[in-house]
Amino acid sequence: MKEEYGSIRPSERFWIDLQPFLLERGYKLRPRYDPNWAPSWKKSWNFKSTVSCEDSMSFLYPRILDAVRVNDGTKVVLRKANIHEDIPVLEYLNSPELLADPRNNTVRVLDVIPLPYDRDFALIVMPMLYHFDSHLTPFRHVSEVLEALEQFIYGLAFLHEHQIAHRDACYFNLMMDPTKVIPSGFHFVLNHLQDDVKTQVIYNDRRSVAPVKYYFIDYETADRFEPGEKCLGMIGQNRTVPEMSPTVPYDPFKVDVYQLGSVIPRLIEYYEGLELLKPLGDAMTDKDPEKRLTASESGQKFQELVSPLTEAELSQKIWLRRLSPEDRMIVGFPIETPFWVKFLESLFCCCC
């Protein structure tokens, strides 16, 4: 039997059962997860379609959900995590001493909530972030891309200095703080819309609100390694790393560099005007791990490429290659105009 759109998924029962407990702890879930919820589209006075109702929106990943911190209205993300495996590295990286280092761009842990009736799991409370390269909020200047890459490269070097390999420093785990870039806020499920799920988000050119802070997320596979220690396993979103193997030991730190470095050719493929980054991407993704740069060396290489750039070169506009010359004229209007937002949504609503 076909499931009715908007109906509660079995995986969502976990959050519905937790809703009263979380409210007591100061975190409010969306109306959909209230144990007494009744679908708004089934009420007699409702004339909207199911898909137009905010409470019909479910999230695909059962271990993750958004919430609001009651005491100040801050939007947060809750993630179910193993206390023994996932949380220790995150807590270490969120210690006051390590947070004092500006290179530390580990996602911030705002709270850890032990789960009732389950000693092995807890909920990690984190800020609500936005993907760093969502094509609904595209890069528009060379300097914006450089700001992001600099933070990720030096952030990876910071992890490695503390003998931590991320093991999934890949494209979809690179995020940004949206506070200044998307001042209108956004809905967690339909992130091109505001919370009413009908009004388009309004966002700023990143260069106009710089600096923007970028973060690594998903430390589920992160671990500490002694110098020279090897590991096994096909791990992470990008498993094209030449030496990665389930049977032959490899250096996890060099794999981190490859996985992060592989983001660079992807950006060059998406955007016109980033060819200057090709030498860095090539050096970080050398097929021979012995010849591949370390994270620290990647930072040095980055500076060699960037330091000679003039202000005019840094402010140079870049374009998504998918945009034709005619489209570029259209999006030359101020970025906050509704027409621009609607135009981008029509082109890239399928992108993250």
A 10 A CB-CB count for 37 gives 15
Most confident region among 46-55, 144-153, 233-242 by mean pLDDT: 144-153
Round the average pLDDT of the chain to a whole number and report it.
92
Q: What is the mean pLDDT of residues 73-94?
A: 96
What confidence tens digit (pLDDT) does each residue in 220-233 have? 999 999 999 999 99
Residue 333 has pLDDT above 60, yes or no: no
Q: 73 in the Ramachandran plot: left (φ > 0), alpha (ψ -120 to 50) or beta?
A: left
**Are 179 and 185 within 8 A, CB to CB?**
no
- Alpha carbon distance 330, 323 (integer Å): 10
Q: Is 327 helix (H, G, I), strand (E, B) or coil?
A: helix
At 277 the pLDDT is 98
Residue 3 has pLDDT above 80, yes or no: no
Whether the bond between 211 and the residue before it is cis, its omega within 30 degrees of 0, is: yes
**Confidence at 242, pLDDT banded by 50, 70, 90:** very high
**Confidence at 80, pLDDT banded by 50, 70, 90:** very high
At 170 the pLDDT is 98
Residue 37 has pLDDT above 90, yes or no: yes
- Alpha carbon distance 321, 285 (integer Å): 23
Find the distance separating the first CA and the last CA of the chain, reported in whole Å.
31
**Are 13 and 65 within 8 A, CB to CB?**
no
Query: Is 130-347 CATH 1.10.510.10?
Result: yes
At 340 the pLDDT is 52
Structure tokens of 223? 């671990």
What is this structure's pTM? 0.91
**Confidence at 317, pLDDT banded by 50, 70, 90:** very high
At 351 the pLDDT is 45
Query: Is 12-127 CATH 3.40.50.300?
Result: no
What confidence tens digit (pLDDT) does each residue in 255-307 have? 999 999 999 999 999 999 999 999 999 999 999 999 999 999 999 999 999 99
What confidence tens digit (pLDDT) does each residue in 127-146 have? 999 999 998 889 999 999 99
A 10 A CB-CB count for 214 gives 19
At 334 the pLDDT is 46
**Are 289 and 251 within 8 A, CB to CB?**
yes
Mark 103-114 as b/e (b = at least 16 C-beta within 10 Å): bbbbbbbeeebe
Looking at the chain, how many residues does it have?
352
Within the chain, all domains assigned CATH 1.10.510.10 are found at 130-347
H/E stretch holding 118: none
A 10 A CB-CB count for 239 gives 12
**Are 167 and 252 within 8 A, CB to CB?**
yes
Structure tokens of 197? 């799920």
At 52 the pLDDT is 84
At 337 the pLDDT is 47
Residue 71 has pLDDT above 80, yes or no: yes
At 339 the pLDDT is 45
Pairwise pLDDT comparison (152 vs 326), residue with the higher score = 152
Within the chain, all domains assigned CATH 3.30.200.20 are found at 12-127
Q: Look at the block and give the residue holding tokens 């499920």.
A: 189
pLDDT above 90 covers what percent of the chain?
82
Q: 10 in the Ramachandran plot: left (φ > 0), alpha (ψ -120 to 50) or beta?
A: alpha
Residue 338 has pLDDT above 60, yes or no: no
Q: What is the DSSP letter of 308?
A: T
**Partners of 250 in the β-ladder:** 231
Pairwise pLDDT comparison (125 vs 43), residue with the higher score = 125
DSSP string, 62-77: TTEEEEEETTTTEEEE
